[in-house]
Amino acid sequence: MLRNLKLSSKLFGGFMIMGLIFLAGGLVGLRGISHVSGNLSSFSETRLPEIYHLEVISEAQQSICAMEQSLLTPGLLNNADEKKRLFTNLGEAWGRAEEARRQYNALPQTDDVKKIWSALTPAWEAWRQGHKKVIQLVRDGKREEAAALFAGRIADSFGTAEKRLRDLSDLTVRLAEETRKTARAQASWLKITTLTGTAVGIVIALAFGIFFARSITRPITRIIAKLNETSDQFAQAAGQIALSSNQLAEGTAVQAEAVEEASSVMRELTAANHAHDEHVRTLQDTTHQIDVICKEAFKNIKSAAQAMGGIKESSEKTSNVLKMIESIAFQTNLLALN
């Protein structure tokens, strides 16, 4: 069936199949790239910001705890400048922590993350309220009460919030690791699929190339063979034509010689004709003269005839006279005899 198809149909079908293969490869690649892009987007836009914001919150919490301990130091009660610096640093640390909590809360969250984050919020709020009381007691100069509160309820709420932060950080790191593994697995799958598709595409392309090469070269080979045969025939015909041309050239040369000879003969004939014309003219003149002579001779003959007639008549008369003389002589002789 394929042999009966036109070459254009074969080429169109082959390129259409190759186009479908490329389309399938493109769709597979697009799907893989979409998954990898989604994982990268999740990792870069969610997991990394989560880790960063949790680190900021944890760092701010530790800084706040350290500055609270510094404020509860007995030697710092009378150092107003240091206390002012610590209060300022505390405000900045709380600002960093709350900003990080706000940005973290705005990120997409899984169910496990929401659960831990929901548990962190009340613990964090309890620790923050206790911190305010400690700071207020420090401002009021009640260091012992502030230290007791810091070591008691504040320490418990701090530990709870710290544990929730650590759990949340561990979960975020685990999710990031899972995202990384998923992305790596998808990248490996995409690589294998791409290599397999490329190999299959190359094999199919080679198969189509061989098929089309044979489909194209076989008719061309037959045409070339026919052209070679035709060219051989043309060469033979050309040889024959060349031979005929040589023979024709030789014949032409012979004809040229014959024409030259004919020209020479024609020149001789022309000269002979001129001579003949001269002879004819001379003959005409001679004939005219002969005619004149003949006329003169005829006149002379006529005159001679007339003269001959006269002579004949004279001869007859003479003969009669002679006869008479003979008769007289005879008679005379007779008389003489008598």
**pLDDT value for 111:** 85
pLDDT tens for the chain, 338 residues long, are 555 656 566 666 666 776 777 677 667 666 656 655 554 555 556 777 888 888 888 888 888 888 887 777 776 666 777 878 888 888 888 888 889 888 888 888 888 888 888 888 888 888 888 888 888 887 777 777 777 877 777 778 788 888 888 888 888 888 878 777 777 777 777 778 778 877 887 888 787 778 766 766 776 777 777 777 777 776 676 677 667 667 666 766 666 676 577 567 667 767 766 776 677 677 677 767 767 776 776 777 677 667 677 777 776 777 777 777 777 777 776 766 66
Model pLDDT, residue 176: 77
Per-residue pLDDT, 37: 57
Q: Is residue 34 part of a domain?
A: yes
Domain CATH for 203? 1.20.120.30
In sequence order, the 6+-apart residues with CB closer than 8 A to the CB of 67 are: 86, 89, 90, 93
The reply to whether 25 falls in a domain is yes
Q: Does any domain span residue 232?
A: no
Closest of 130, 219, 173 to residue 43, by C-alpha: 173
* Residue 315 counted as domain residue: no
Q: Is residue 126 part of a domain?
A: yes
126, with CB counted inside 10 A (0-12, 13-18, 19+), is: middle
Backbone dihedral angles phi then psi of residue 78, each to the nearest 5 degrees:
-95, 5
10 near 215, Cβ under 8 Å?
yes
What's residue 264's pLDDT?
Answer: 72
The whole-number pLDDT of residue 20 equals 75
**Does any domain span residue 322?**
no
Residue 74 falls inside a structural domain: yes
pLDDT of residue 338: 60
Contact between residue 63 and residue 167 where contact means Cβ atoms under 8 Å apart: no
Number of domains in the chain: 1
Q: Which pLDDT score, from 0 to 100, does residue 85 have?
A: 86
Contact 65, 186 (CB under 8 A): no
Question: Given this model, what pLDDT does residue 25 score?
Answer: 65
pLDDT reported for residue 35: 57
Q: What pLDDT was estimated at residue 51? A: 82
What SS3 class is residue 1?
coil
With a threshold of 0.75, does the pTM exceed it? no
In a domain, 264, yes or no: no
Q: What is the pLDDT of residue 258?
A: 61
The parent domain of residue 214 ranges over: 2-226
168, with CB counted inside 10 A (0-12, 13-18, 19+), is: buried
Instruction: Give pLDDT, residue 150.
Output: 73
Three-state DSSP state, 79? coil
